[in-house]
Copies of this chain bind each other. A is one copy, B any other.
Amino acid sequence: MTPELHNSRFMRAARREPVDTTPIWIMRQAGRYLPEYMQVRSKVTFLELCKRPDLAAEVTLTAREVLGVDAAILFADLLPILEPMGLDLEYAKGEGPIIHNPIRTASDVDRLREVENIEELGFVFEAVRLIRRDLPGDIPLLGFAGAPFTLASYVIEGGGSRHFIHTKTMMYNDISAWTSLMQRLTNSLVRYLREQIDAGCQAVQIFDSWAGCLTPADYRDYVLPHTRALIEGLPTNVPVIHFMTGNPALLSLQREAGGNVMGLDWRVDLAEGWKTVGDDVAVQGNLDPMVLYAGLETIRDRARDVLDAAAGRPGHIFNLGHGVTPDLNPDHVKALVEMVHEMGSGKTSR
């Protein structure tokens, strides 16, 4: 890593070092709310966009530049890693992802392959190389992947879910199939994220988007060991952001599972959340994305509340508590970035 990248605002904050002002990036910053994204997206399907390194690079770089955020995040999706594992993935119009051959039984698990030849996902690493080549020298590039539980729930339910009936049924009724599935996913994820890092990512985020449906005891017994194995499988000099949503009662276990930066959703006050995960770790978050539907004055007030909760302590990366929604006004996102930079921790007055 160049000294310029090493000393960038984002990387310093991830290491809990003082910064000139609070770094910010936005989950799903290259997304449908952005006209520049829609222009590219209108020419191809979502899955094609994920698999075209030139276009994935273009939307990644454009979003970073248009917003003026402190990190770029690879444009990709959580699920294409499942294709080389033998799953039949489709993004149906207006429906979200569908897996046509979901995993429900022990023998289903047996037919699931670990990703052995990582080059089957070469389009991702090529996008990383293209993005890194054209990014400013002080802007880190984030890679990412789904956490084992979140991927398992897609694989078992065959898509999104409300109650996670099949997932929990396998977890409770067939611990050996469950463990085997989680291990296959974890091993594949370790290879996938290592390769993203080798291709040029300076940090990675693990999205456990659905873990909030679990009791603390179930998270601890069925999920935590696998997330920990994933994080321990990654190089120790690359910061890992461990993001979870939907259940503040899991925060101390989220920390226990590992990561250098704890990604918080908006359900918890950031000061409380930071206290729970511990002062010896960085935090990322946690403005309610819906605040961006409010007027600029309210956005400023709420952004200040989040900054105040961080109290200027080193180790805060500003973000939303979840991804941007499609019909949001992009000017509000740009305004938020400016406000955070203006009011951020390095400045004397707010």
Q: Measuring CB to CB, which residues of chain A are less than 8 angstroms from any residue of chain B?
A: 163-165, 168-169, 172-173, 212-218, 246-250, 266-269, 272, 288-291, 293-295, 298, 305, 325, 327
Contacts and interface: CB of A to CB of B under 8 A. Distances in A.
Contacts of A218: 288
Contacts of A293: 165, 168-169, 172-173
B165 A215 contact: no
A172 B294 contact: yes
Count this chain's copies in the assembly: 2
Given A168-B290, A267-B215, A325-B163, A173 B249 contact: no
Contacts of A289: 163
A289 to B, nearest CB: 8
A283 to B, nearest CB: 15
Residue from A163, A250, A293 having most chain B Cβ neighbours under 10 A: A293
A267 B290 contact: no
25 contacts: A163-B325, A164-B290, A165-B325, A168-B288, A169-B294, A172-B290, A172-B291, A172-B295, A172-B298, A173-B294, A173-B295, A212-B267, A213-B267, A214-B267, A215-B269, A216-B267, A216-B268, A216-B272, A217-B269, A217-B305, A247-B248, A248-B249, A249-B249, A249-B267, A249-B272
Contacts of A215: 266-269, 288
Given A217-B269, A325-B163, A290 B247 contact: no
A153 to B, nearest CB: 12
B325 A290 contact: no
Given A168-B288, A290-B169, A294-B172, A216 B247 contact: no
Nearest to A166: B293
A269 B217 CA distance: 8
Nearest to A164: B290
Contacts of A266: 215
Contacts of A213: 267
A269 B218 CA distance: 10
A91 to B, nearest CB: 18
Contacts of A217: 269, 305
